[in-house]
Amino acid sequence: MSTCTRPATTAIASGRPRLSQLDVADGLTALLRDTTTEPRPDTQLEALTLAVAADLPVLLWGEPGIGKTAALTQLAVSLDLPLTTVIASVHEPSDFSGLPVIGDDPAENGVPMAPPDWAVRLVRAGRGLLFLDELSTAPPAVQAALLRLVLERRIGALQLPPGVRIVAAANPRSSAADGWELSPPLANRFVHLKWTHDHEVVVRGLGGTWPRATLPQLDPGKLPEAVDFARRAVCGLLAARPKLVHQMPTGETRRGGPWASPRSWDMTLSLIAFATAAGSSREVLSLLVRGTVGDGPGLELLASLDRLDLPDPETLLADPAGAVLPERGDLRQAVLDGVVAAVRNRPEKSRWDAAWALLVRALDTGAPDLVVVPATTLASLRREDWDVPESIERLAGAVSLSRRADRAADRAAVRTAAGAKARR
């Protein structure tokens, strides 16, 4: 017997199965991959799950190795959805538009476009998460073929079922292998989310515990209210700012990201409704809105959302003693300006007195400088036969002090500028 067979013979004789080094290595790998999840606040993960719940295509932007693919894999597991990954850059346009199949009589029956196997599997399953990876490395012809898939969920003659959600991932062109900018039509079909790493999440995840992705808990009782709020928010802004309805950027790079169009405003409306029904934070809503219509229009919409929640000036004038004013300075200023505007529109002595009482309450509960402009404007609305209320004496001191402070600041700025000029 040769010496090379003796160890195997010994192992068999002892009755113990002999493990190869590859078996041991596989066991170690399995232990390394044995991780768990925990509920943990994660703004970008919550934004992703909210957009998925709203059945809107999502595009994750991030540098290579940031964890986009791992996040999508964990999302599919958490939502109990079969994951289908398609690398867009390695497919031909016909893989998304359908492959022509010539039948017996093409002149009579036409040439049907057969879908690829992964699309057929999704239809058979009836549900799933379609992950379009490496989207920014797909050439323009492939991007054009993806338009119908992303928007209409059709591949050739095949219609994907409603239970299929679409999420894509891309690297910035500067870090993508042979990267392309996204075409404006394709970019405008996605909710764009910048995917970044959180140091604490990474450290805890490498220790074996990652955050868990869960669908938002929608309150059934808030659904009609959420839809009404979303429609008022979007329609109110676009009615006041019609130029925001369609704003395609001029630069190629920005056109490959989020920008305002009727389509993206429709997606924004859905996201506001879902975020309202789920009670999502303003940070989550900000990510979604700016990732759909862009930073400029998105920030304008977020500012207008704040004003939708402001109290009605007529309610405040009816009970100034019990008025609850916003804590944020800009919102408080908007409320006070609205009250003064309401008195201007319907000037009555009782309303004028109530407005002064409200300004006194604002003085007692917030920064004095916020009442300066409203008080000055309100004073100009006085009629000759209206007696000056006693409360105005308290406001007069605050207004006078604020004005003296402004004049002192102006004088200091003039002296600083003069000194700088003299030194030159």
Last residue of a domain, one of 308, 326, 353: 308
Are both 143 and 156 inside the same structural domain? yes
Are both 251 and 192 inside the same structural domain? no
404 Cα distance to chain centroid: 44
Task: For 144-199, write each residue's pLDDT tens digit.
Answer: 989 989 988 988 778 999 999 999 999 886 665 566 888 999 999 999 999 988 88
In a domain, 4, yes or no: no
How many CB atoms are closer than 10 A to CB 95? Answer: 21
Last residue of a domain, one of 245, 273, 308: 308
Smallest Cα–Cα separation from 356: which of 397, 330, 321?
A: 321
Are both 279 and 401 inside the same structural domain? no
Three-state SS for 193? Answer: strand
In a domain, 271, yes or no: yes
Q: Burial, 387: exposed, middle or buried (Cβ in 10 Å; 0-12, 13-18, 19+)?
A: exposed
In a domain, 132, yes or no: yes
Are both 57 and 154 inside the same structural domain? yes
Are both 47 and 135 inside the same structural domain? yes
Task: For 126-143, write each residue's pLDDT tens digit.
Answer: 999 999 998 888 888 899
pLDDT band at 110 (very low <50, low <70, confident <90, very high): low
Q: Does the predicted TM-score (pTM) go above 0.95?
A: no
Does 278 have pLDDT greater than 90?
Answer: yes
Are both 78 and 136 inside the same structural domain? yes
Q: What whole-number distance in Å separates Cα of residue 154 and Cα of residue 135?
A: 18
Between 10-19, 99-108, 269-278, the lowest mean confidence (pLDDT) is in 10-19
Residues in the chain: 424
Q: CB of 142 within 8 A of CB of 185?
A: no
Q: Which domain holds residue 196?
A: 36-101+111-211
Are both 304 and 317 inside the same structural domain? no
Average pLDDT over residues 260-287: 95
Longest dimension (CA), the chain: 124
How many CB atoms are closer than 10 A to CB 135? Answer: 27
Are both 157 and 144 inside the same structural domain? yes
Are both 325 and 385 inside the same structural domain? yes
Q: What whole-number distance in Å separates Cα of residue 111 and Cα of residue 103?
A: 7
In a domain, 402, yes or no: yes
Number of structural domains the chain divides into: 3
Last residue of a domain, one of 264, 289, 308: 308
The pLDDT of residue 288: 97
Are both 266 and 247 inside the same structural domain? yes
Averaged pLDDT score across all residues of the chain: 83
Between 70-84, 303-317, 387-401, the lowest mean confidence (pLDDT) is in 387-401
In a domain, 21, yes or no: no
In a domain, 20, yes or no: no
For tokens 């920008």, the residue is 259
Q: What whole-number distance in Å separates Cα of residue 416 and Cα of residue 249?
A: 42
Does 406 have pLDDT greater than 50?
Answer: no
Q: What whole-number distance in Å separates Cα of residue 302 and Cα of residue 31?
A: 46
Are both 300 and 236 inside the same structural domain? yes
Does 95 have pLDDT greater than 60?
Answer: yes
The pLDDT of residue 3: 45
In a domain, 3, yes or no: no
CATH of the domain at 115: 3.40.50.300
Q: CB of 260 within 8 A of CB of 238?
A: no
Distances (CA, A) of 384 to 53, 154, 329, 341, 379: 61, 72, 33, 20, 12
Task: For 18-53, write each residue's pLDDT tens digit.
Answer: 788 998 999 999 999 888 888 888 899 999 999 999
The pLDDT of residue 396: 67
Are both 252 and 362 inside the same structural domain? no
In a domain, 53, yes or no: yes
